[in-house]
Structure 1
Amino acid sequence: MGTASVALVTGAGGGLGAAIARALAGRGHDLVLNDLEPSERLEALAAELRALGVRVEIMAQDIAQVAHLPGYVAGVAARMGGLDVLVNNAGVSVLSRGDLLEVTPESFDRCIAVNLRAQFFLTQAVARHMLAAPSARRRAIVTITTVAVDHVVGRVLAEYSMSKAGLAHMVQHFAARLAPQNIDCFEIRPGMMQTPMTSTSREKYDRLIAEGFVPAGRWGELDEIGKVVATMASGEFAYAVGQTIHIDGGMRMKMF
């Protein structure tokens, strides 16, 4: 096994995935960048991170193809000499923002397939690998959900929020199962972040922020999520089993 901790970041081709990868690289982790397929964006990110002195490999895989995940995880570990950190960041939004009564089976099934089913079985495959390959290093699985899990109800994102709520429960189950084996499981709930997923509703969210819906009074920055992921992956919070970290500017707080 190599001397550096190895982290697998799913959805690394997106803005949040890239921010997470940068933060982990800044902490000295070697990285596997995952997305549906290789891209120029991933190649540019890999080159940027290699300049920091860490090893970076691009290993594409559609995580919704769950039958392939055990082999994929084994391939990651074999190529990198181990696997110490998983960041469940990949996800999809709804096919069409609209009334709950208009949600289609296609949009519902897509959110469940990618945001919940795929991440459950990827986490399972990584956990199995970690248990089969004991390490003196404390390891971590960090899962990105959303403030809309239980503190905020979106009128147009029901199937997305429901899939993420399932992830929140998933983290608790894996945390209880893996804590005795020195594997930390954490959930991070972002609030309003400027990503492609929120770009179609930017005007609406700008108005909500101006009206005080976010106590911090601003959008969240992607690197703020990255820094927290890297901190939770450090192994320094061994007794914080299954904790949820809210990076939401206070959105979950009910003010009067």
Structure 2
Amino acid sequence: MSGARRGDDTGPHNRPAAVVTGGSRGIGRGIVLALAGAGYDVVVNYASNADAAAEVGRAVAALGGRAHLVRADVSRPADRRQLIDEATAAFGRLDLLVSNAGVAPDVRADLLEAGEESFDRLVDINLKGPYFLIQLAARTMIEQQAAGLTERPKIVVISSISAYTASVNRGDYCVTKAGLAMTTQLYATRLAEHGINVYEIRPGVIETDMTGPVRARYDDLIFNQGLTPIRRWGQPEDVGRAVVAVATDLLPFSTGQVIDVDGGFHLRTL
């Protein structure tokens, strides 16, 4: 695997290792399976759904990889530390962090009515947690590079078109995704001297549990109103393929790059 040190042979214990937060369902699941298919062992982080995580673990094994399941809440400092510690203990290395875990507001509330409780929850999980998890992972990667355990490790931040698209009934979500965009820029700048490239993958409308409650609305926008030039729902595997492109070192002269996986939503047309 280009971009990750594999040792003297290509046996299963020399496979590169990734951590994927929120890896049990939706986009995270698609990323985990794409990485397993590309030759990675994967730490599958989940917050509560142990059954879904176990199913993903079995799917990784079917693809010839190893999965290590870690229940951890990225909003909690002790859990973030546990996640990185278990990753290095399980596989002895950390070649890739995919910061994907995130939540939507429980209630879509108008900007003039929304309360602080939802705002604080989303900031803790969607922004503060990833910000400091990346810090921990980066320190570990730098140490492992010095020890010869990995080469050119990478960090991928999964954000959203909500980083720049205003939705006035879920302002807290938009603010956290905009924060992730700057988080990517900051860490890309800081870590370049260590040979660690950082990327932001910005999904559009992806068919997951999160978008299920508004499926009818998005069906109309996509298929009838031309919301996206590519007139279909995005799939978790679309995001997974983009992560694999980064993981396999196909973008070695890019860092801080935004990779849109949105069916062309970002295009401005007349």
If the length of structure 1 is used for normalisation, what is the TM-score?
A: 0.95
State yes or no: 1:218 paired with 2:229. Answer: no
Q: CA contact under 8 A between 1:6 and 1:84: conserved in structure 2?
A: yes
Partner of 1:35: 46
> Could you tell me which amino acid in structure 2 is paired with residue 194 of structure 1?
E
Partner of 1:188: 201
> Could you tell me which amino acid in structure 1 is paired with residue 83 of structure 2?
Y
What's the offset of the Cα at 1:38? 5.8
Residues 191-206 of structure 1 correspond to what in structure 2 (within 5 A)? 191-206=204-219
Q: CA contact under 8 A between 2:45 and 2:83: conserved in structure 1?
A: no
State yes or no: 1:156 paired with 2:156. Answer: no
State yes or no: 1:234 paired with 2:248. Answer: yes
Q: CA contact under 8 A between 1:139 and 1:235: conserved in structure 2?
A: no
> Could you tell me which amino acid in structure 2 is paired with residue 48 of structure 1?
A
Secondary structure at the residue paired with 1:59?
A: strand
Q: CA contact under 8 A between 2:162 and 2:173: conserved in structure 1?
A: no
Q: CA contact under 8 A between 1:15 and 1:195: conserved in structure 2?
A: yes
Unaligned runs of 5+ in 1: none
State yes or no: 1:116 paired with 2:130. Answer: no
Q: How many residues align?
A: 255
Unaligned runs of 5+ in 2: 1-6, 8-12
Secondary structure at the residue paired with 1:127?
A: helix
Q: CA contact under 8 A between 1:7 and 1:84: conserved in structure 2?
A: yes
Instruction: Provide the C-alpha distance between the structure 1 equivalents of 2:216 and 2:133, rounded to a whole number of angstroms.
Output: 35
Distance 1:68 1:59, change over 3 A: closer
Query: 1:5-26 CA distances to partner (integer Å, 9 max, x unpaired)?
Result: 1000110111211110010001
Instruction: Provide the C-alpha distance between the structure 2 equivalents of 1:241 and 1:120, rounded to a whole number of angstroms.
Output: 17
Residues 1-256 of structure 1 correspond to what in structure 2 (within 5 A)? 2-37=13-48, 39-134=50-145, 135=148, 136-150=150-164, 152-209=165-222, 210-256=224-270
Q: CA contact under 8 A between 2:72 and 2:82: conserved in structure 1?
A: no
> Could you tell me which amino acid in structure 1 is paired with residue 185 of structure 2?
Q
Query: 1:174-211 CA distances to partner (integer Å, 9 max, x unpaired)?
Result: 11111221211000111111111111111111111111
Instruction: Provide the C-alpha distance between the structure 2 equivalents of 1:38 and 1:189, rounded to a whole number of angstroms.
Output: 25
Q: CA contact under 8 A between 1:74 and 1:129: conserved in structure 2?
A: no
Q: CA contact under 8 A between 1:38 and 1:58: conserved in structure 2?
A: no
What's the offset of the Cα at 1:120? 0.5
Instruction: Provide the C-alpha distance between the structure 2 equivalents of 1:192 and 1:72, rounded to a whole number of angstroms.
Output: 29
Instruction: Provide the C-alpha distance between the structure 1 equivalents of 2:137 and 2:45, rounded to a whole number of angstroms.
Output: 14
Instruction: Provide the C-alpha distance between the structure 2 equivalents of 1:62 and 1:85, rounded to a whole number of angstroms.
Output: 19
State the percentage of identical aligned residues: 36
